């Protein structure tokens, strides 16, 4: 019996492929590309040593690990798991199959191809970030972007900082430090991550003057609160919640008229900041940036990586004199953005100017995709998946996508979900396997089933999901 055990262990050991053989396998090429050949070689060496130790101590109980193909597959799986564990704290690409268009945890807006190309262009070499090519002298960063924003939105001037919270902070610090900021109690919002409007106002050096109630604030409340200490009237758009029912608030036009009469700036924090009218999607309470400016807001601030569909940034638009003061604030240098952000923003705004935003900006394309188009993609996907998998059952079910990112919180976009049931794995186990796959595939569980929503999946990512399902469906 001992001799038989030794022979079995020896045979399995002999079947272990060499490192060079494994490095030539197609399944490892993506890892080699991502991590480098030397790193993969080192990890393979560790996995093989681990295998040898297990086989030597197995007392002949090698299970199914007796042929080369099975051994190679097991080695690949262990190698992938090792890299997955090392990557859990690293920023990496994931496939968003949740149906949440602006998923904050997944990096919000994916960039357009034009924005990615622009980043690549300025990242790979030097750029004219602060150089005037016409005069051959030092220039100012963001000049081209600001000109494009003026053309697109008809504003007098523009400035860009690293996010919308920074835009609110520097605007209030510039215009209201040492004075009071009037804001409705119904707009004392938490932006996210425990960052709250009252705290931002306090850090700006201004004092908050609350008016009205949570659900009802009248124009007279603002008027009665104005005194010699008032510096700014602030209106914060409730991007991530809704107050419904017995409510009241003045229009932006009414507030703008009051602000002009009292010689005060009206600052509109739009948060998500959409450039496109979303009424056709049934979204009736997301004002556009152009509408806010037209209504008379002195300064408007919004995010770059939400409904705009660009990189993380805080965009500030408004009256030239006020924007000039904001840009002269010493905080501007601390909050300014880099060349990559400028490049991506310029390309994003250029896409809007071209009239192709609905097609080329991923966020806009995802939001405006009809249920019919999503259904057609889902049907084609399932047809292909059924040919590749054995232990999986697919079903198309009606469902809803959401915009996310603190935008249009009550809006649901009709969609068709792909329900996937494994005969071998529970929904939670299935979700974990996809999440730890390379690249990670983020799905959701609904009605005790794992579901995929292709609305938020780029077409070129579908083969990667199919490959992952094929691997899990055949195991």
Residue 1 pLDDT > 60, yes or no? no
Which pLDDT score is estimated for 224? 96
DSSP secondary structure, 156-219, as one string? SEEEEESSHHHHHHHHHHHHHTTSEEEEEGGG--EEETTEEHHHHHHHTT-EEEEES-SSB--H
Tokens representing 6 are: 């030794």
Distance CA 224, CA 222 (A): 6
Q: Which of 50, 58, 28, 26 is nearest to 40 (CA)?
A: 28
Distance CA 25, CA 31 (A): 11
Taking only the tens place, the pLDDT of each residue in 284-332 is 777 899 999 999 999 999 999 999 999 999 999 999 999 999 999 999 9
Q: Which of 281, 276, 196 is nearest to 236 (CA)?
A: 196
Task: Give the H/E segment covering residue 80.
Answer: helix 68-87
Residues 442-462 have a mean pLDDT of 95
Ordered alpha helix ranges (H), 238-288: 252-261
Lowest mean pLDDT, pick from 53-62, 86-95, 249-258: 53-62
Q: How confident is the model at residue 64 (pLDDT cuts 50, 70, 90)?
A: very low
Distance CA 381, CA 376 (A): 9
Lowest mean pLDDT, pick from 50-64, 351-365, 448-462: 50-64
Q: Which of 279, 290, 309, 323 is nearest to 161 (CA)?
A: 323
Residues 256-277 have a mean pLDDT of 93
Say if CB 265 and CB 320 are below 8 A apart.
Answer: no
Q: How confident is the model at residue 239 (pLDDT cuts 50, 70, 90)?
A: low
Which pLDDT score is estimated for 48? 84
CATH of 113-360, one of 3.30.465.10, 3.40.640.10, 3.40.50.1580, 3.40.630.30: 3.40.640.10
* CB-CB neighbours of 74 under 10 Å: 15
First to last CA, the chain: 32
Please state the pTM of the whole predicted model. 0.81
Which pLDDT score is estimated for 219? 95
Which pLDDT score is estimated for 207? 96
Report the CATH architecture of 95-108+365-474: Alpha-Beta Complex (3.90)
Which pLDDT score is estimated for 37? 86
Taking only the tens place, the pLDDT of each residue in 76-90 is 888 887 776 666 567
Residue 58 pLDDT > 60, yes or no? no
| In the chain, where the domains are located | 2-87, 95-108+365-474, 113-360
């Amino acid at each position: 019996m001992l001799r038989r055990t030794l022979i079995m262990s020896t045979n399995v050991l002999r079947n272990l492929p060499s490192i060079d053989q494994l490095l030539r396998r197609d399944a490892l090429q993506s890892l080699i590309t991502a991590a480098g050949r030397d790193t993969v070689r080192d990890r393979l060496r560790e996995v093989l040593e681990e295998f040898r130790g297990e086989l030597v101590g197995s007392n002949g109980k090698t299970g199914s690990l007796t042929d080369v193909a099975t051994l190679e597959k097991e080695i690949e799986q262990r190698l992938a798991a090792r890299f997955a564990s090392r990557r859990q704290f690293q920023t990496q690409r994931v496939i968003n199959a949740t149906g949440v268009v602006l998923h904050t945890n997944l990096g919000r807006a994916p960039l357009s191809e034009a924005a990615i190309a622009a980043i690549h262009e300025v990242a790979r070499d030097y750029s004219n970030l602060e150089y005037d090519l016409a005069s051959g002298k030092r220039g100012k960063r963001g000049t081209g972007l600001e000109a494009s924003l003026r053309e697109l939105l008809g504003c007098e001037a523009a400035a860009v900082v690293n996010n919308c919270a920074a835009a609110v902070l520097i605007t209030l610090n510039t215009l209201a430090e040492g004075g009071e900021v009037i804001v409705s109690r119904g707009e004392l919002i938490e932006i996210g991550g425990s960052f709250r409007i009252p705290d931002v106002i306090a850090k700006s050096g201004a004092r908050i003057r609350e008016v009205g109630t949570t659900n009802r604030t009248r124009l007279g409340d603002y008027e009665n609160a104005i005194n010699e200490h008032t510096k700014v009237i602030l209106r914060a758009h409730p991007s991530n919640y809704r107050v419904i029912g017995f409510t009241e608030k003045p229009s932006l036009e009414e507030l703008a008229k009051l602000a002009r009469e009292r010689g005060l700036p009206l600052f509109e924090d739009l948060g998500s900041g959409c450039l496109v009218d979303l009424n056709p999607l049934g979204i009736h309470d997301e004002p556009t940036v152009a509408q806010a400016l037209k209504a008379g807001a002195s300064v408007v601030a919004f995010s770059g990586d939400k409904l705009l569909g660009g990189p993380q940034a805080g965009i500030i638009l408004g009256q030239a004199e006020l924007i000039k003061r904001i840009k002269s604030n010493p905080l501007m240098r601390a909050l300014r953005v880099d060349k990559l952000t400028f490049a991506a923003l310029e390309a994003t705004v250029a896409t809007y100017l071209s009239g192709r935003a609905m097609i080329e900006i991923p966020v806009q394309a995802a939001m405006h995709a009809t249920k019919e188009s999503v259904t057609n993609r889902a049907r084609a996907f399932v047809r292909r998946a059924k040919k590749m998998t054995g232990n999986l059952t697919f079903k198309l079910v009606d469902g809803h996508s959401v915009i996310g990112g603190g935008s249009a919180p009550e809006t649901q976009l009709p969609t068709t979900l792909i329900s996937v049931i494994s005969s071998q794995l529970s929904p939670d186990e299935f979700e974990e396997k996809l999440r730890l796959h390379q690249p990670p595939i983020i799905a959701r569980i609904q009605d005790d089933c794992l579901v995929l929503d292709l609305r938020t999946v780029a077409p070129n990512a579908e083969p990667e999901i199919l490959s992952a399902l094929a691997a899990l469906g055949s195991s």
